[in-house]
């Protein structure tokens, strides 16, 4: 093989084979797989126009993908007239075209044991959302080795829709999560009668929680794609007044009046979703995910547009503040908690943060430290910090400690 090998790729090749399902399409030879990972890892360390390389790839031949044509109805294939060499610099140059998870750069071995880039796959939907929150789509990603490159040394590997292995901070299956931390949901997002109406059935509560998380995910996806950092703060609705009062820890430069427009848009859309699902005979998250009802598709698109609008507000200097029901409180918000003594921060090593690892307080940037102090000063607040390089960190207070969850992807 002509490509140089590096430390991580050798470990990854072994780990992938150990975790690869017996019924999955076979992986290539050890030499080809290691060369594929070696170049991919090195490409992740580069930057394109000042931004880290972010891209999506599939390792499969044209014949292997064409054999799945019946199931890949949501994808269409673009083949290069002439294959390109599979190299770090070629991946860097092509990465802007496959940043979105609705696209994949196709790589395959050649007859002489090298690798080449032979085309692209495009979909109407973001294939990585099929992993834990599919919606309005029966499409599935190809059954093959798929990879998300999320920045320097951050790689997520899939067998089709099934996540197999993650590399982050030099660790296989490192401290990163694809799901929202459970502690953010339990006991914090309490669906009220004002939000959900008089019928507070368990199914309706669960649907509202999933819609809230769906909106949050969409916001973070758009912020990460924009390339600018952001700080998003969620506060309980009944705590807005004291937290934003003179001398409070939140000082909005652009506060929004409650009770109208965008500030109550999500509640109106969520209630419309419930009414339509009730008319169709089943109010559940599972029904919302699998339905192709035209009215629900329109409502889903409106929820996405709302997320895009809120994501755009994060471009203004300062924090975006929302209630935990996604009502807009204000943007361009200054965090006034410099008086809070911050001595230690902990990284969660599991979703419930039962295992934690001490972190240096100054390991992050200004946004991170503002989020840490805010959650210590106002423990009922939650914060999400998006770095300029696309990294996402959840921040909350637990038992007097500031805990952070590193999020892998959105």
Say if residue 345 is in the same domain as residue 320: yes
pLDDT of residue 410: 43
Percent of the chain beyond pLDDT 70? Answer: 83
Say if residue 362 is in the same domain as residue 398: yes
Q: What is the pLDDT of residues 342-399, one digit of tens each?
A: 889 998 887 788 888 898 887 778 899 999 999 999 998 999 999 887 778 899 998 8
Which run of H or E residues covers position 240?
helix 240-244
For the chain, the distance separating the N- and C-terminal CA atoms, rounded to the nearest angstrom, is: 35
pLDDT of residue 132: 40
- Identify the domain boundary among 172, 204, 225: 172
Say if residue 369 is in the same domain as residue 337: yes
Strands 319-323 and 230-235: parallel
Q: If you average pLDDT over residues 394-406, what whole number do you get?
A: 89
Cα separation, 141 vs 159, whole angstroms: 9
- Identify the domain boundary among 125, 145, 172: 172
Kindly indicate the confidence band of residue 137, based on its pLDDT and cuts at 50, 70 and 90. very low
- The sheet with strand 155-159 has its strands ordered as 75-85, 115-123, 103-109, 54-59, 145-150, 155-159, 162-168, 171-172
Say if residue 86 is in the same domain as residue 219: no
Cα separation, 285 vs 181, whole angstroms: 19
262 backbone φψ class: left, alpha, beta (φ>0; ψ -120 to 50):
alpha
Q: What is the pLDDT of residues 86-125, one digit of tens each?
A: 999 999 999 999 988 788 999 999 988 899 999 998 876 6
Say if residue 244 is in the same domain as residue 156: no
- 340-356 burial string, b = 16+ CB within 10 Å, else e? bebeebbbbeeeebeeb
Say if residue 123 is in the same domain as residue 86: yes
Q: If you average pLDDT over residues 196-218, what whole number do you get?
A: 78
Say if residue 163 is in the same domain as residue 32: yes
Say if residue 308 is in the same domain as residue 339: yes
Say if residue 141 is in the same domain as residue 193: no
CA angle 334, 336, 338 (to 5 degrees): 130
The tally of domains found in the chain comes to 2
Is the Cβ–Cβ distance between 371 and 379 less than 8 Å? Answer: no
Looking at per-residue confidence, does 201 or 268 come out higher? Answer: 268
Give a yes or no: residue 1 inside a domain. Answer: no
Q: What is the pLDDT of residues 176-190, one digit of tens each?
A: 666 666 566 665 555
Per-residue pLDDT at 46 exceeds 60? yes
Is the Cβ–Cβ distance between 56 and 104 less than 8 Å? Answer: yes
Q: If you average pLDDT over residues 263-268, what whole number do you get?
A: 80
Say if residue 122 is in the same domain as residue 31: yes
Say if residue 192 is in the same domain as residue 103: no
Query: 103: which strand partners?
Result: 122
Residue 48 belongs to domain with CATH number = 3.40.1700
Query: 382: which strand partners?
Result: 234
Looking at per-residue confidence, does 157 or 138 come out higher? Answer: 157
Q: What is the pLDDT of residues 279-312, one digit of tens each?
A: 999 888 888 888 889 999 999 999 999 999 999 9
Domain of 107? 7-172
Residue 355 belongs to domain with CATH number = 3.40.1700.10
Percent of the chain beyond pLDDT 90? Answer: 39
Which run of H or E residues covers position 47?
strand 47-48
Q: If you average pLDDT over residues 11-17, what whole number do you get?
A: 87
pLDDT of residue 138: 46
By C-alpha distance, which of 106, 133, 109, 125 is closest to 117?
106
Cα separation, 212 vs 89, whole angstroms: 40
Say if residue 104 is in the same domain as residue 231: no
Give a yes or no: residue 86 inside a domain. Answer: yes
Q: What is the pLDDT of residues 213-241, one digit of tens each?
A: 888 888 988 888 787 889 999 998 889 99
Place of tokens 């360390």: 45
Give a yes or no: residue 2 inside a domain. Answer: no
């Amino acid at each position: 093989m002509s490509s140089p090998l590096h430390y991580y790729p050798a470990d990854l090749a072994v780990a992938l084979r150990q975790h690869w399902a017996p019924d999955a399409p076979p992986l290539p030879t050890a030499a080809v797989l290691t060369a594929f990972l070696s170049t991919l890892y090195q490409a992740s360390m580069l930057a394109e126009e000042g931004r880290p390389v972010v891209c999506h790839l599939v390792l499969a031949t044209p014949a292997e993908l064409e054999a799945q044509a019946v199931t890949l109805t949501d994808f269409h294939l673009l083949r290069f007239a002439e294959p390109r060499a599979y190299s770090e610099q070629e991946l860097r140059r092509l990465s802007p075209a496959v940043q979105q998870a609705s696209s994949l750069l196709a790589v395959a071995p050649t007859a002489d044991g090298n690798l080449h880039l032979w085309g692209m796959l495009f979909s109407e939907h973001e294939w990585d959302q099929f992993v834990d929150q599919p919606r309005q789509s029966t499409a599935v990603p190809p059954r093959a080795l798929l990879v998300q490159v999320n920045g320097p040394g951050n790689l997520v590997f899939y067998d089709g829709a099934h996540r197999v292995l993650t590399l982050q901070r030099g660790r296989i299956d490192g401290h990163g999560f694809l799901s929202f931390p459970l502690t953010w949901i339990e006991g914090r997002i309490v669906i009220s009668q004002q939000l959900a109406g008089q019928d507070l059935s368990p199914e309706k509560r669960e649907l509202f929680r999933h819609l809230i998380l769906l909106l949050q995910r969409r916001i973070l996806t758009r912020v990460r794609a924009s390339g600018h950092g952001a700080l998003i703060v969620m506060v309980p609705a009944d705590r807005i007044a004291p937290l934003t009062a003179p001398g409070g820890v939140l000082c909005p430069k652009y506060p929004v009046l409650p009770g109208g427009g965008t500030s109550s848009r999500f509640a109106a859309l969520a209630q419309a979703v419930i009414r339509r699902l009730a008319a169709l005979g089943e109010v559940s998250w599972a029904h919302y995910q699998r339905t192709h009802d035209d009215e629900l598709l329109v409502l889903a698109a409106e929820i996405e547009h709302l997320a895009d609008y809120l994501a755009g507000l994060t471009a203004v200097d300062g924090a975006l503040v929302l209630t935990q029901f996604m009502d807009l409180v204000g943007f361009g918000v200054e965090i006034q908690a410099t008086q809070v003594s911050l001595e230690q921060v902990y990284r969660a090593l599991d979703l419930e943060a039962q295992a934690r690892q001490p972190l240096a307080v100054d390991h992050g940037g200004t946004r991170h430290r503002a989020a840490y102090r805010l959650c210590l000063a106002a423990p009922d607040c939650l914060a999400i910090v998006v770095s300029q390089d696309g990294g996402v960190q959840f921040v909350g207070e637990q038992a007097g400690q500031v805990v952070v969850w590193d999020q892998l992807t959105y």
